[in-house]
Structure formats: C-alpha cells, structure tokens
Structure 1
Amino acid sequence: MEEQFILRVPPAVAERIERLLNENASSSEDKSLDLSFPEDGRSGTFSIGDEHFPASLLDLPCVVESYKTYDDSCLIKTADIGQMIMVREPGDAAPDVIEYRHGLTPPMRDARKRRFRREPDLNPELVSRVEKDLLKIMAGGTADNVDILVLSEQEEAGEENSRGTNKKAAAPPVAKADAPQTVTNAGEADRSDSDESDDSV
C-alpha cells in the first residue's frame, strides 16, 4: 500500500499546479513546490514558486479509498486516505478543529452528525473497571465484586425439574369434524360442470 493524502488548494493555486505538472518545469514561472510542517504537525506552509500559503492537516470524517488502473478496466486499491492538507489564502482564518466535518463531496456535508451513529455515552470508570476485570480473567484470576454460586449436579437436576413443572403441557390438537356429505334429491337431474356458475369471479 502507498502513503497518500489529499491536497485541497484554492482555485488559483490549483491552476498553477496543473500548469506546472503539464508543462516543462524549466519554462514555467512556478518552478518549485514545497510543503513543510513544524513540530506540531497540524499547521504548516505550502510554497509554490515565491509565494507561501498557510496549510492545515485535517482528519477526514471517514476513510476514503483510492484506486489506480493500468488498462482502464481493472481498478487496484492503492491506499486508505484518512487525512487532508487544506491550503488557505493568506488572509483566511485557520480552522480551530482537527477534523474536517464535511468530507470531500457535497453528499458528505456534516456527515458525522447526519450519517454516523452517535458514540455511546460510557462512564470512563466503568470502562476501566471492565478492562481490569478482563485482564484478570485472561491471566487466570477472577473478576472483582462477583458472586460465585457453585451448584452440585443434584441441585442442577432439581432446578431443571422445577422449571419443567412450571411449563404448561401443550393441549392436544383438536380433531376436525368430518364435513357433512351432500345428498342430492332423487327427483333432480344431475347438473353438469358447464351448468354451474363460477362464483369465484
């Protein structure tokens, strides 16, 4: 897998980058691209030619997969992208969060609030206590504050019998009475199937 990130730049900078990639670098006025981040790793500087732009490293609300193709038919997954470098105009304010809430496309606008399940409200003390208990159980010990009840085989059998008596016996199925046979009058002639009207319609 490759290491990739998404670089989002203002439209004017995008045109300059596209021109730099398409043309010969020696003939272009923007001969260099540079991206540098100081120790905090979240805010840095993007340079193209002699101009410098502020940049921020932001987390995406979900993982984006990237693919490439060699024959325009089969796609090969190359990376999972979870971060984006957003380049701003020099006057724009820096984002005060580390997660970009809107994703990359318009349907992902405010995605975490609209599309993703809310994280459960868990008590941190409860989580740490359960974690300690699990570690003790995995080490061969027992968890704290647990009542252990040991039953002998006769007590278990007695409990099962008492549970069985509480269950109601299923009622036997009721036998259906035979349908009465139709008796035709001796004086009437039998009607054929073609004479009968179809009542099912």
Structure 2
Amino acid sequence: MEEQFILRVPPSVAERIERLLNESASDDQSLDLSFSDDGRNGTFVIGDDHFPASLLDLPCIEESYKTYDDGVLLKTADIGQMIMVREGGDSAPDAVEYRHGLTPPMRDARRRRFRREPDLNPELVRRVEKDLLNIMNGGTAENFDILSCSWQEEVGDDSGRNARKKAPPAPAAKSGVSVAGTNAVEPERSDTDDSDDSI
C-alpha cells in the first residue's frame, strides 16, 4: 500500500495550486513541503510564497481508493494524518490531534464520539504492573489487601434448602363475611374460553 496524507490549504492557495496543475509544466512555480526536526511543523512553498504547515493526526482512519475502469475499486491506503497549511498570521494548532473529522458529521469528533481516557494514578499503575510481573514469574503479589467475609444461616424447622424462603402470609378474615365464602374456587379457564370478536 501507498503512504498518503490529506493536504488542507486555504482557499486562495487552493486556487493557485489548481491553476498550477492545469497550466503547462513550463512555468517556474513549484510546490515544496519541508518539515523541521520535530516532524510536526514545517513550511509549504508555492512559487515565492511560504506558508506555515502542521502535521496533525485525524480522529479516525480514512480509506483511499482508486479505479482503472470505473467499476472496480482498489484500496490504496489508510489515511490517518493531515497536513494543514495556514495563512501567515494564523496561529498554530496547540495539539497534534485534530479535533474534527473531514466531513460535517464528524465535527468535534474527539469530544462527541470517543470516550475520555481515564485518569490513572501512575504510581498505582506501576505497582499493579510490578505485581502482575511477579505473579507471571511464579512469585506473589506484594501490594494487596485481604478482606474477610462471613455469613450466617438461620437454622429453623425447615431443611437448609428452604431455609431462606418465607411462608406465604395467611389471608386476613374480613368482618361480616363468612369463612366459607372466602375459599370459593374459580373454575379453570382454557384458551378456548376466550372469545375473539375481532374477526
């Protein structure tokens, strides 16, 4: 696969690049891109004009395709970085990770679509890594707490299997109603007893 990146330039520079590509190759105007030692900041040169540029990481991976016959697409690269060319007076981005994607739905994608990295105590991480390495090498962990836990079972008349179940409460007798009337049994219903009048 090829290595590719996205070149984002201001509209005035984009017009000049398009004009340069459409004209004959005999013009003396040239394009050049050079980076400083840090690999993130550089200079974009078109003709005699110099523009500051920054290499930024995109929040997602973009795929690049090409075709020879307008029918079959061939994947050529995974694009994860963008070179942003700025006007001379514009400020440089403060982070190496670009917050937005390339399309409007991916605007502010770093905040809206990805969860925040957890705040971890570096000392705690170091201790846990050390304990894991000790355990993997056959040793024991040094930093751990022992919690003791105990529970009691109630011993009653029932066996241990039903010890936790409660007996269902007895229905309370109502005044003025005979006891025989409270034990009336409703006949069982089957599916055929239900009438369906919607047909």
Query: TM-score, structure 1 length as denominator?
Result: 0.68
Shift of 1:113: 1.0
Out of 36-45 and 12-21, give the one that drifted further: 12-21
Q: 1:81 aligns to what? A: 79
For 1:178-189, list aligned pairs within 5 A: none
Aligned twin of 2:63: 65
Alignment of 1:51-200 (within 5 A): 51-146=49-144, 167-168=161-162, 200=197
Query: Separation in 2 of the partners of 1:179 and 1:52?
Result: 91
* Identity over aligned pairs, percent: 77
Q: Secondary structure at the match of 1:14?
A: helix
Unaligned runs of 5+ in 2: 147-158, 164-185, 190-194
1:47 pairs, out of 45, 48, 54, with 45
**1:77-125, CA deviations, whole angstroms, 9 ceiling, x for partnerless residues?**
2222221111111122222222221121211111111111222232222
The secondary structure found in structure 2 opposite 1:83 is strand
Name the aligned partner's letter for residue 57 of structure 1: L
Tell me the C-alpha RMSD between the 2 structures.
Answer: 2.8
How far does residue 132 in structure 1 lie from its aligned partner after superposition? 1.8
**CA drift at 1:29:** 5.2
SS at match of 1:59: strand
Gaps of 5+ in 1: 149-164, 170-176, 181-197
What is the CA–CA distance in structure 1 between the aligned matches of 2:160 and 2:12, rounded to whole Å?
A: 80
Residue in 1 that maps onto 2:170: none
Query: How big is the shift at 1:179?
Result: 5.7
Supply the AA of the counterpart residue of 2:22.
Answer: N
C-alpha distance in structure 2 between counterparts of 1:138 and 1:81, whole Å:
38
2:21 maps to: 21
Corresponding position of 1:194: none
Task: Give the structure 2 partner of residue 33 of structure 1.
Answer: 31
1:35 partner letter: L
Question: 109-118 vs 132-141, which deviates more?
Answer: 132-141
- Count of equivalent residues: 160
Letter in 1 for 2:197: S
For residues 122 and 37 of structure 1, do their structure 2 counterparts lie closer, same or farther at Cα, with a shift above 3 Å needed? same
What's the offset of the Cα at 1:199?
A: 5.4
Given the superposition, is the C-alpha separation of residues 46 and 147 from structure 1 closer, same or farther in structure 2, using an over 3 Å criterion? Answer: closer
TM-score of the superposition, structure 2-length normalised? 0.68
Q: Following the alignment from structure 1 to structure 2, what is the Cα–Cα distance between the partners of residues 133 and 90?
A: 53
Structure 2 CA distance, aligned partners of 1:137 and 1:54?
Answer: 52
